[in-house]
Amino acid sequence: MEERKVTREGKDTNKMIIMEIIQFRINRYGNTPIFGVCLSEGQNWLVIRENEVDYYLGGIKFINKKFIRHRIIVDNDAMKLTILSSKYSNYEKDKSVIESLNLDKNTDLFQSLKNKSCLLGVGLNKKDKFFVGRIENIYEKSISLRTIGTFTEDCGMMNIPFDKIRFVDIDTDYLNSLNLYMENKKGMDKNK
């Protein structure tokens, strides 16, 4: 099976390769490192499949590169490299999510995410500033997000400037669980 990878020089390759596992920190998000399998990288955004613990691959995380600090390639853990590279080949749907994304322009990236109608989590300039919702509109320097609460209640619209966004999460267990609950809730409401 072939994997798509954008090299550090920005060139596409179609060779079977071992995916890079990276570690980094995000400004103002403490000193706990974030690990992940690098999926793609553009001028403004880095995309990873997050490795939250041991050999578990979590959701897809889009990181605003201007807030990344202490980024390194993890190449000293042969077992982790082997396991995560093998497991990653099971994530075929990642290709469809990232291959059409423009990671060089904020408006293009967020338009693509809006078109996918996915529930997303947005981490802002402080660790306790995390909002869940769907993108309603994209502007030149911001997005409007229809936010939901922890019980999927509508929490209104929020305008979020691109320069405040540290990261965007999609396809996490938490977000998929909320989405599943909302779909089931709609089905139950229709049956009333």
pLDDT in tens, 155-174: 999 999 999 999 999 999 99
pTM (2 d.p.): 0.83
The DSSP secondary structure of the chain, one letter per residue, reads ----EE-TTS-EE-S--PPPEEEEEETTS-S--EEEEEEEE-SSEEEEEEEEETTEEEEEEEEEGGGEEEEEE--S-HHHHHHHHHHHTT-THHHHHHTT--TT-HHHHHHHHHHTT--EEEE-SSTT-EEEEEEEEE-SSEEEEEEE-TT--EEEEEEEEGGG--EEEES-HHHHHHHHHHHHHHHHHHT-
pLDDT in tens, 33-88: 888 888 888 999 999 988 878 888 889 999 999 999 888 888 777 787 778 777 76
